[in-house]
């Protein structure tokens, strides 16, 4: 069988409509001025815009109708996240969507359903998973003891300070488990905010030590391992969607500059040394978008297929490198302006460093793709 194999790619009318509305919304709510205005804020996002997108039903797009969602599936969030990346619209949408997918896929429970209903209503949720900087490590030292008490901490928890719900990835009685925690249960001073390279983002270290869990807040189902694997793949895909949107905006801003800036009596965009890398970036963005929507085509509510896994990993590997390259060249091609904080290129090059480290960098995914494609 060919290593290229599955090349399905489709996009339905719902998706097209969601894409159009999302782009319009993000463009209006997240102008560059608005983005810069939020960089120093505590929450990092515009709570009015958040309210509105919850009212639009975006947080329920991928969640079941019986809980108040629209049941369209997580594929339909890809275009929204790409639009957010394009406009650098910040906020806990990706984080909450992923937390909800993890809980949903782990299997139904009363507390889980409460969390999902809250997310649909606009209460942010996040997943606390990493303990080290290594996405490839599955060691877990933040444990639930037999009495339901927590010991240990988690790092790099996205949107920790604004999350109403925290989904802790832990172990309980020798098996993988999730702990569903409400923010008010956290011990005082549990959250220590990180200083992030991407100032539009927020994350923190959380010390869960001493927190007492009710038995029903501990989810330890048979399907949890598969749910955790799928959570990581969906995380890679949505990070790729955001990065692809940011890369496109980054290229646009670079091209705009090359069309207006004159040196030695010529528009600098006429020089091939600047033109050709822009074409390389365009082609890389095109590849990213193709992988994104190919992956979206293969997603459903059931556990991800091998083809879907390949597609998600390819999307992330491609998008990470695309944004790294686009933003690196954006700073360089803006010349001395590009070296300043005032130039928007800084937003993209910072986003690129942050984004490549969400759910594994390009090499992380290529390593796993090699096993999937060459060894099986």
Partner 1 sequence: MSVSEQDLQDFRQEVSAWMRDNKPADPGFLLPQSFMEVGTEQQLDFLREWQHKVWQAGYLGMAWPKEYGGGGLSPIFQSIADQEMRRHGVPICFNVIGLGWAGPLINDIGSDEQKARYLKGILSAEDIWCQGFSEPDHGSDLGSAQTRAVREADEYVINGTKIWTTMGNYARYMILLARTNPQTERKYDGLSFFLAPMDVPGIDAVPIRKVTGEYGFTETFFKDARIPAESLMGGEGQGWKIAMKTLQYERGAEAGAAGGLAFERIVIDDMIEQLRDMSRDGAPLLSDPVTRDHLVRLIMEEKSIALGDKRAAIAPLTTDYPFSLQLSSKLRITEYARRMRQFAIAQQGAAGSLYVGDEQARQGGFWQRAYFNSFSATIGGGTSQVQANIIAEHILGLPK
Q: Which residues bind partner 1 (CB under 8 A)?
A: 2-4, 7-11, 15-16, 19-20, 248, 251, 255, 258-259, 267, 269-270, 272, 275-276, 278-279, 282-283, 285-287, 289-291, 293-294, 314, 317-318, 363, 366-367, 369-370, 373-374
Smallest separation, CB 291 to partner 1 (Å) = 7
Strands 153-158 and 203-207: antiparallel
Q: Which is nearer to partner 1, 318 or 358 (by Cβ)? A: 318
- The Cα 48–Cα 67 span in angstroms is 24
16 versus 32: smaller Cβ distance to partner 1: 16
Q: How far is the CB of 100 from partner 1 (least distance, A)?
A: 26
Q: Which residue has the tokens 């965009």?
A: 269
Tell me the closest approach of the beta carbon of residue 158 to partner 1, in angstroms. Answer: 27
**Closest approach of Cβ 69 to partner 1, in Å?**
23
Of 12 and 55, nearer to partner 1 (C-beta) is: 12
Structure tokens at 106: 């782990």
Residue placing its CB nearer to partner 1 in the complex, 13 or 184: 13
Minimum Å gap between C-beta 249 and partner 1 is 10
Q: Are 69 and 61 in contact (CB under 8 A)?
A: yes
- Shortest Å distance, C-beta 268 to partner 1: 9
Cβ nearer to partner 1, comparing 4 with 133: 4
Closer residue to partner 1 in complex, CB, 71/277 = 277
Instruction: Give the nearer residue to partner 1 in terms of CB position, either 16 or 141.
Output: 16
Whole-number minimum distance, CB 364 to partner 1, in Å? 11
Smallest separation (angstroms) from partner 1 to the CB of 28: 18
**CA 79 to mean position of chain CA atoms:** 12
Q: Which is nearer to partner 1, 133 or 374 (CB)?
A: 374
Instruction: State phi, psi for 68 to the nearest 5 degrees.
Output: 105, 5
Q: Tell me the Cα Rg of the chain.
A: 21
């Amino acid at each position: 069988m060919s290593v290229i194999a599955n090349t399905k790619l489709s996009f339905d009318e719902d998706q097209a409509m969601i894409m159009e509305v999302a782009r319009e919304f993000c463009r209006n709510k997240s102008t560059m001025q608005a983005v810069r205005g939020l960089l120093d804020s505590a929450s990092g996002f515009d709570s009015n815009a958040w309210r509105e997108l919850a009212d639009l039903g975006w947080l329920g797009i991928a969640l079941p109708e019986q809980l108040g969602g629209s049941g369209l599936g997580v594929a339909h969030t890809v275009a929204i996240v790409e639009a957010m990346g394009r406009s650098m619209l910040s906020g806990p949408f990706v984080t909450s969507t992923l937390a909800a997918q993890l809980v949903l896929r782990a299997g139904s429970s009363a507390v889980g359903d409460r969390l999902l209903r809250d997310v649909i209503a606009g209460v942010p949720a996040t997943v606390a998973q990493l303990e080290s900087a290594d996405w490839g490590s599955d060691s877990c030292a933040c444990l639930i003891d037999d009495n339901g008490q927590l010991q240990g901490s988690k790092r790099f928890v996205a949107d920790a300070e604004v999350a109403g719900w925290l989904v802790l990835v832990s172990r309980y009685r020798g098996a993988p488990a999730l702990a569903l925690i409400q923010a008010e249960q956290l011990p005082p001073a549990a959250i220590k905010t990180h200083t992030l390279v991407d100032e539009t983002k927020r994350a923190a270290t959380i010390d869960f030590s001493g927190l007492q869990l009710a038995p029903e807040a501990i989810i330890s189902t048979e399907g949890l391992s598969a749910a955790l694997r799928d959570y990581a793949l969906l995380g890679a895909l949505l990070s790729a969607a955001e990065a692809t949107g940011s890369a496109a905006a980054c290229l646009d801003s670079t091209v705009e500059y090359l069309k207006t800036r004159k040196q030695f009596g010529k528009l600098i965009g006429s020089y091939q040394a600047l033109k050709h890398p822009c074409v390389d970036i365009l082609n890389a963005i095109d590849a990213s978008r193709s992988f994104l929507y190919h992956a979206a085509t293969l997603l459903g509510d059931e556990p991800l297929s091998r083809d879907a896994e390949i597609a998600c990993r390819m999307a992330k590997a491609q998008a990470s490198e695309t944004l790294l390259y686009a933003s690196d060249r954006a700073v360089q091609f803006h010349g001395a302006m590009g070296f300043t904080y005032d130039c928007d290129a800084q937003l993209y090059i910072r986003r690129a460093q942050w984004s490549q480290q969400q759910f594994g960098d390009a090499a992380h995914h290529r390593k796993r793709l090699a096993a999937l494609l060459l060894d099986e």
